[in-house]
Structure 1
Amino acid sequence: MNKFPSRPLAGTGLRLSTLGLGAAALAGLYDAVDGPTAAATLQTAWEQDLRFIDTAPFYGYTRSEGRVGAFLTGRRRGGFVLSTKVGRVMVPDDGVRPGDDGWADPLPLRPVFDYSHDGVMRSFEASLQRLGVQRIDILLVHDIGRATHGDRNQFHWKALTEGGGFRALQALRSQGLVRAIGLGVNEWEVAQDALAAAPLDCVLLAGRYTLLEQGALPFLDRCAAQGVGVIIGGPFNSGLLAGQARYNYGSVPHDMLQRARALAETCAEFRVPLEAAALRFPLAHPAVVSVLAGMRSPQQVIANVSWMRRPLPDDLWPALRHRGLLHAEAPLPAACAKEA
């Protein structure tokens, strides 16, 4: 098997496989995944040379971190890149029920937002224990921003900035307990604010720079100019570009449904799976280091790897742009197709 392509995360010494495994689905996002299937999914990803795994305490209310940690036990620490997140402290709660926050079978722990210095440290230390490691490669501030917090966002932003959350991240990095720090968010605006507030290495941006929508293009251009790496999450926009009737973790607006259909029709004309185009497109931007796809079974791993490796015709991308389906200034993936 050919080694899967990887890209460097500038200034950190890390290299990320261009396709990473997002481990939220393994924690039972919407539908339960049993332990043996989760372990088999991680094993298949490993065999396919996907060595970048992203998790978080929030996923399954710690179920994801526990499963990832169990799988990684005994594996050479330099053989994979691991990211997790802070911003929520998990506290015991027997009132947790199936379906809470979209998790089919969450563990009896309730997430409490805490972006302060102490909150970040508590979350980090608990993640080390669940993951069974002594350091985290990439530590991300999870879900800061108005999309999550609404009118409470300013309160949490002050905890992150004035309350020492960013300072805690920088201390962990300077101590070598973390290799890179950043944000893991669904909105680019707060990430742009964060770049002005702290020296971040990367941003995990979910759903805002995809084949479906490129509104975050100016932000990615800024990241490229500043040497900040971008990891693209949600390349299928919560499944809309992979045949599911879901967008942004909810129902699909009519305009997005129409756009997705137009993308699918154009890809079909070029005999290209829509999923392959969706995975490949973000990697054309010079700021993008990796694309994270959620995978809940070995079959989904094989499918995603196949889509990512599939040669795509160069003339697909100008056709999409000509039909108004791609931003006029978005980089096109001709060079990226040769890499993968």
Structure 2
Amino acid sequence: MPLEDRPLGRTGLRFSPLGLGAAALAGLYDPVDEVTAAATLQSAWEAGLRYIDTAPFYGYTRSERRVGTFLAGQPRDGLVLSTKVGRLLKPDRTVLPGSDGWADPLPFRPVFDYSRDGVMRSVEDSLQRLGGARIDLLLVHDIGRATHGPQHGRHWRALTEGGGFRALESLRTQGVVRAIGLGVNEWEVAWDALSAAPIDCVLLAGRYTLLEQDALGFLDRCATDGVGVVIGGPFNSGLLAGQAKYNYGSVPAEAKQHADALAAVCAEHDVPLPAAALQFPLAHPAVVSVLAGMRSPEQVQANVAWMRRPIPGALWHALRDRGLTHAGAPLPAEPWPSAVRGEPT
């Protein structure tokens, strides 16, 4: 599969189909040193990956700092950079290794704030850490019940009634950012957001993958509404890439059984399971990129090879015929309409 750019509606942004998620570079679960982080970003750049996603939360500002340092020496033409709002990082020397899964977080403590003032302060702070690098896509991070439980209503009101969404729109109008949206792990709150604000994009992690397609109806709505989707977590936190993690935690027996069945069909067709996992989401017309976390040049090279791996149509149809993918999910072997993502008919 060639790495051809995909347009995001009428924003003028074009995404490489494979993007680099910079959470891993901030020490998710295991530390990554400065040299390795820089080499990983350089390897991704040389491989043609022109979409990088980061966030203040990743490593408690470590990810944004590393990405900013790297981008200071690179031309910005053709690059899409996304970061997020929703958490302010407050200095706190009591932060311990392992906090929120970060192996060696910097001494800042995340505090949720989805209000107008919180959004504006977060963007200002991010620009400082990114060295003034232009933010192309600004995403509301981790809004929803999966993160906030009974406090979701309070944070949603801050985003809606408290002016958070209006701040995003204002930043887009002023040209500070080119596109706005959500970065979440649940599709339900993103569905609500489609009616609450004129967003351009949703970064949806883990909910539309080769393993699960419960979000298919949401993606169909995005395609109809002209809202782009970035698929994060295509390996479901590593399960589809041979790691014993699912949704950032232990693997349920049902998920393990499903992943094993997917792997068996891929083996029948001599296709690595991670290659199928990376390419499957791109068949949906709403999807503009698949975002994978990478922590070394070797992982970059592996992901690029998987993305470019030819996959026979027979594999995709075998997965559908055996009930391992949703019957209505688009397959890479099938054509889809061009009247999406702002493309002319």
Counterpart code for 1:84: T
Which residue is 1:153 aligned to?
A: 152
Say which SS state the counterpart of residue 245 (structure 2) adopts. Answer: coil
Q: Could you tell me the TM-score, scaled by structure 2's length?
A: 0.96
Distance in structure 1 (CA, Å) of the matches to 2:187 and 2:116 = 23
**Residue 134 and residue 240 in structure 1: after superposition, are their counterparts in 2 closer, same or farther (change >3 A)?**
closer
Say which SS state the counterpart of residue 334 (structure 1) adopts. Answer: coil
Please tell me whether residue 19 in structure 1 is matched to residue 18 in structure 2.
yes
Aligned pairs, how many? 335
Counterpart code for 1:177: V
Distance in structure 2 (CA, Å) of the matches to 1:200 and 1:35 = 35
Distance in structure 2 (CA, Å) of the matches to 1:3 and 1:326 = 24
Counterpart code for 1:224: A
Please tell me whether residue 52 in structure 1 is matched to residue 57 in structure 2.
no
Distance in structure 1 (CA, Å) of the matches to 2:283 and 2:202 = 17
Distance in structure 1 (CA, Å) of the matches to 2:3 and 2:241 = 22
Unaligned runs of 5+ in 1: none
Counterpart code for 1:44: S
Please tell me whether residue 254 in structure 1 is matched to residue 253 in structure 2.
yes
Contact map agreement 1:4 1:48 (CA 8 A) in 2: no
C-alpha RMSD of the superposition: 1.1
- Displacement of 1:5: 1.4
Contact map agreement 2:19 2:289 (CA 8 A) in 1: yes
- Displacement of 1:135: 2.9
- Displacement of 1:78: 2.1
Which residue is 1:236 aligned to?
A: 235
1:69-148 alignment to 2 at 5 Å?
69-133=68-132, 135-148=134-147
Counterpart code for 2:34: G
After superposition, give the CA deviation of every residue in 1:66-92 in whole Å (9 maximum; x if it has no partner): 000000003222231100000000000
Distance in structure 1 (CA, Å) of the matches to 2:100 and 2:27 = 11
Distance in structure 1 (CA, Å) of the matches to 2:254 and 2:118 = 40
1:198-237 alignment to 2 at 5 Å?
198-237=197-236
**Residue 93 and residue 219 in structure 1: after superposition, are their counterparts in 2 closer, same or farther (change >3 A)?**
same
After superposition, give the CA deviation of every residue in 1:187-220 in whole Å (9 maximum; x if it has no partner): 0000000000000000000000000000000000
Distance in structure 2 (CA, Å) of the matches to 1:263 and 1:160 = 39
Q: Could you tell me the TM-score, scaled by structure 1's length?
A: 0.97
- Displacement of 1:123: 0.4
Contact map agreement 2:18 2:49 (CA 8 A) in 1: yes
Which residue is 1:321 aligned to?
A: 320
Contact map agreement 1:54 1:84 (CA 8 A) in 2: yes
Contact map agreement 2:32 2:295 (CA 8 A) in 1: yes
Say which SS state the counterpart of residue 4 (structure 1) adopts. Answer: coil
Distance in structure 2 (CA, Å) of the matches to 1:105 and 1:137 = 28
After superposition, give the CA deviation of every residue in 1:304-326 in whole Å (9 maximum; x if it has no partner): 00000010001101100111100
Query: How much identity, in percent, do the aligned residues show?
Result: 76
After superposition, give the CA deviation of every residue in 1:65-118 in whole Å (9 maximum; x if it has no partner): 000000000322223110000000000000100000000000000000000000
1:172-321 alignment to 2 at 5 Å?
172-321=171-320
Contact map agreement 1:19 1:293 (CA 8 A) in 2: yes
Give structure 1 regions of 4+ aligned residues with deviation exceeding 3 angstroms: none
Contact map agreement 2:2 2:308 (CA 8 A) in 1: no
Contact map agreement 2:68 2:133 (CA 8 A) in 1: no
